[in-house]
């Protein structure tokens, strides 16, 4: 069982709640986060390939993880304007995830 060494959130906790305990969790559970987003999006959507050859849900999962990392970077570096934009994008993707019932 994977456990975040920083905040002791386990993979099970994460899968049950859909929530992570700290920014480090995203690195620890990045595979699972991607898999969840892909499977949730894939359930009722048929999507084609995008120009880079990946499905939309693959891109979405990658974008989400990228944004989460960007967010912690921006926080650390005090780039507050960038942080606002990043948080808006994260919220859009999270709303999408909520709608599909990942985080209930
Ligand atoms: Zn953690």
- Residue-level pLDDT, tens digit, the chain, 104 residues: 889 999 998 988 887 776 778 878 888 888 877 776 666 554 434 444 555 666 556 667 778 888 888 888 899 999 999 999 889 888 887 777 666 655 44
Q: Could you tell me the distance, in angstroms and rounded to a whole number, from the CA of residue 55 to the centre of ligand 1?
A: 29
pLDDT value of residue 5: 92
CB under 8 Å to 95, separation ≥6 — which residues?
Answer: none
Residue 1 lies in a domain: no
pLDDT value of residue 104: 43
- Quote the number of domains for the chain: 1
Q: pTM value?
A: 0.47
Q: Could you tell me the distance, in angstroms and rounded to a whole number, from the CA of residue 72 to the centre of ligand 1?
A: 13
pLDDT value of residue 57: 61
Residue 59 lies in a domain: yes
Residue 104 lies in a domain: no
What does the alpha-carbon distance between residue 79 and residue 97 come to, in Å, rounded to a whole number? 27
Residues listed for the chain = 104
Q: Could you tell me the distance, in angstroms and rounded to a whole number, from the CA of residue 27 to the centre of ligand 1?
A: 9
Residue 6 lies in a domain: no
């Amino acid at each position: 069982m994977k456990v975040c060494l920083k905040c002791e959130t386990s993979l099970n906790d994460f899968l049950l709640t859909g929530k992570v305990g700290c920014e480090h969790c995203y690195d620890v559970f990045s595979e699972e986060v991607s898999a969840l987003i892909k499977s949730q999006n894939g359930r009722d959507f048929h999507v084609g390939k995008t120009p880079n050859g990946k499905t939309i849900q693959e891109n979405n999962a990658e974008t989400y993880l990228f944004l989460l990392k960007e967010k912690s970077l921006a926080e650390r570096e005090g780039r507050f304007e960038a942080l606002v934009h990043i948080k808006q994008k994260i919220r859009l993707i999270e709303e999408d995830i909520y709608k599909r019932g990942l985080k209930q």
